Structure 1
Amino acid sequence: MKLGIFLVLFGGRPLEEALDLVASKGVKAVEIGTGAYPGDAHCKPDELLESKTARENFKKAVEARGLTISALSCHGNPLHPQKHIAQGFHDTFVKTVQLAELLEVPVVNTFSGCPGDHEDAKYPNWPVAPWPNDYQEILDWQWTNKVIPYWTEWGKYAADHHVKIGLELHGGFSVHTPGTLLRLREAAGEVIGANLDPSHMWWQGIDPVQAISILGRAGAIHHFHAKDTTIDPVNVHRHGITDMQSYTLMQDRAWQFRTVGYGHDLKTWADMISALRLYGYDYVVSIEHEDGLMSIEEGFSKAVKNLQQIMIEDSAAEMWWV
């Protein structure tokens, strides 16, 4: 496995300056945003698609520092019920897939999206309860008419371009658990896999090690994020895990994102790294920082130091004791 970073953390710095910084910390891979929610500060798809020279210079900037590109990321909602919004996210996704093929990047990360509750809806509708039965009807309509058709078509498009799709399991979107990921994968094909972020498992009450086991046995982990979560033992009883308060209200929220090691101890993280190896994932662990108590620089540096202690980088040795 390699330690990586979601480079959007340093979107305020020029590309080469950001690459110099992360390489100096011992990181070996970068995940780069191409637009939509992550922004495109370091990677402009239109410019790179138009110019082979620009692509060569882009790759050279990364590779000259001993880095690889683990994924291109364009997280958005291509199923948004407002067509012009959905179209923008969709167009970015398509360009990102095209660019990933040309750059020989194997994974494009995004969200599954979330539709509305009927064709003329204005806003996404994320059903989270099986009763009243209206919610089941909405869920069935979404998956039958929107989620499965879209990803069946555009999953094939990605596969035809030799790119895998890493869907981040994130609340508010149709695919947000191992079960929903596998449901879509069964319908749309093995090109669909997870960009598994344990921080989103914890707040949903899912053990990330078990999530790794469930998805890993199916070969359905395409990419992995490293971000932590802490759950407030008092506030969670007031607001529940679907706490809708702003992330800025850190004293009042039921849970919040933290830097690796500040929500769960390194033994827990070592168990995840071991589970990844056990179930066949031997790719990049990409640091994402969304810790409201730390600066980006400090949160990133601490995550690197903590993960370096537990990463399994070499190939497994033969069992000489057997």
Structure 2
Amino acid sequence: MKLGVFMVLFGGRKLEDALDYVVSKGLKAVEIGTGGNPGNAHCKPAELLKDEAALKQFKDAIESRGLTISSLSCHGNPLHPQKHLAQADHEDFVNSVLLAERLGVEVVTTFSGCPGDHEDAKYPNWPVAPWPNDYQEVLAWQWENKVIPYWTEQAKFAKEHNVKIALELHGGFSVHTPATLLRLREAAGETIGANLDPSHMWWQGIDPVQAIHILGREGAIHHFHAKDTVIDPINVNKYGLTDMQSYTNMLDRAWQFRSVGYGHDVKTWADIISALRLVGYDYVVSIEHEDGLMSVEEGFSKAVQNLQQVLIEEPLGEMWWV
């Protein structure tokens, strides 16, 4: 495995300066934001696709430092019921796939999106309760009319360009659990896989190690984020795991994102890394920082230190003792 980082953390720095900083920390891979919520501070696909010299300069900046690109990431909502918003995120996704092919990057990471509850809806509707039965009807309509048709078409498109789609399992979107990912994968094909982020498993009450086993046995993990979550044992009893308070209200929230090692101990992260190796995932572990108690630099550095203790980097050898 290689240790990497989601470069949107350093969107305020010039690309070359950010890459030098990452190299100084001993990392070997970068995940590049190409639109959607992460933005495109370091990489504007539509421009690079039209400018061969700029594309070569971008590629050389990364390769000359001994780095590889683990993924181009354009987390958005291409199923948004407001058509202009959906179209913008769809275009980011399409351009990311085309650029990934040109760069030889095998993964594009995004969200599944979430539709509304009918054709003329204005906002996404995320049903997470089976009753009242209205929610079941909304869920069925979404999957049959929006989620499966859209991603079946996009999976075919990505496959034609030798790119895999890693959908991040994230609350608020149609694909947010191992089961919903596998449901879509069964319908749309194996080009669809997960960008598995343990932080989003913990706050939903899912054990990340078990999620790795469930998805890994199906070969359905295409990318991996390293971010932690802590659940407040008192606040969770008041607000529940679906706490709608702002992330900025850290003192009262039921849970919050933390840097690796500040929500769960290093042994837990060792179990996660071992589970990834066990199911055959030997790609990049990409650090993401969304810790409201630490600066980007400190949170990132702590995550690097903790993950370097447990990352399994060397290829598997023979079991000489067997």
TM-score grouping bracket, smaller chain normalisation = over 0.9
1:217 matches 2:214: no
State the alpha-carbon separation in 1 of the partners of residues 106 and 115 from structure 2: 27
Q: CA deviation at 1:103?
A: 0.5
Task: Specify the alignment match of 1:174 in structure 2.
Answer: 174
Task: Specify the alignment match of 2:100 in structure 1.
Answer: 100
CA deviation vs aligned residue, 1:259-284 (integer Å, no higher than 9, x gap): 00000000000000000000010000
Task: Specify the alignment match of 1:32 in structure 2.
Answer: 32
CA deviation vs aligned residue, 1:268-302 (integer Å, no higher than 9, x gap): 00000000000010000000000000000000001
State the alpha-carbon separation in 2 of the partners of residues 54 and 216 from structure 1: 37
State the alpha-carbon separation in 1 of the partners of residues 276 and 122 from structure 2: 40
Sequence identity, in percent? 79
Task: Specify the alignment match of 1:320 in structure 2.
Answer: 320
Task: Specify the alignment match of 2:82 in structure 1.
Answer: 82
AA in 2 matched with 1:283: Y
Unaligned stretches of 5+ residues in structure 1: none
1:270 matches 2:276: no
State the alpha-carbon separation in 1 of the partners of residues 253 and 44 from structure 2: 36
Q: CA deviation at 1:186?
A: 0.1
AA in 2 matched with 1:154: Q
Q: Secondary structure at the match of 1:243?
A: coil
State the alpha-carbon separation in 2 of the partners of residues 160 and 177 from structure 1: 27
Q: Secondary structure at the match of 2:166?
A: strand
Q: Secondary structure at the match of 2:282?
A: coil
CA deviation vs aligned residue, 1:139-184 (integer Å, no higher than 9, x gap): 0000000000000001100010000000000000000000000000
Task: Specify the alignment match of 1:303 in structure 2.
Answer: 303
5 Å-filtered alignment, 1:1-322, equals: 1-322=1-322
Q: CA deviation at 1:80?
A: 0.2
State the alpha-carbon separation in 1 of the partners of residues 103 and 318 from structure 2: 35
State the alpha-carbon separation in 2 of the partners of residues 318 and 213 from structure 1: 23
State the alpha-carbon separation in 1 of the partners of residues 318 and 274 from structure 2: 17
State the alpha-carbon separation in 1 of the partners of residues 228 and 17 from structure 2: 26
Q: CA deviation at 1:25?
A: 0.2
State the alpha-carbon separation in 1 of the partners of residues 316 and 93 from structure 2: 36
Q: CA deviation at 1:53?
A: 1.5
Q: CA deviation at 1:55?
A: 1.2
Q: Secondary structure at the match of 1:108?
A: strand
Q: Secondary structure at the match of 2:158?
A: helix
State the alpha-carbon separation in 1 of the partners of residues 223 and 102 from structure 2: 19
State the alpha-carbon separation in 2 of the partners of residues 79 and 35 from structure 1: 15
Moved over 2 A (4+): none
State the alpha-carbon separation in 1 of the partners of residues 139 and 97 from structure 2: 28
State the alpha-carbon separation in 1 of the partners of residues 251 and 9 from structure 2: 24
State the alpha-carbon separation in 2 of the partners of residues 47 and 90 from structure 1: 16
Q: Secondary structure at the match of 2:112?
A: coil
State the alpha-carbon separation in 2 of the partners of residues 295 and 173 from structure 1: 28
State the alpha-carbon separation in 2 of the partners of residues 122 and 56 from structure 1: 41
Q: CA deviation at 1:258?
A: 0.1
Q: CA deviation at 1:225?
A: 0.1
TM-score by length of 1: 1.00
Q: Secondary structure at the match of 1:5?
A: strand
Unaligned stretches of 5+ residues in structure 2: none
CA deviation vs aligned residue, 1:20-77 (integer Å, no higher than 9, x gap): 0011000100000011100000001121100122111111100111100000000000
How many residue pairs get aligned? The number is 322
State the alpha-carbon separation in 2 of the partners of residues 74 and 103 from structure 1: 16
AA in 1 matched with 2:106: P
Q: CA deviation at 1:128?
A: 0.6
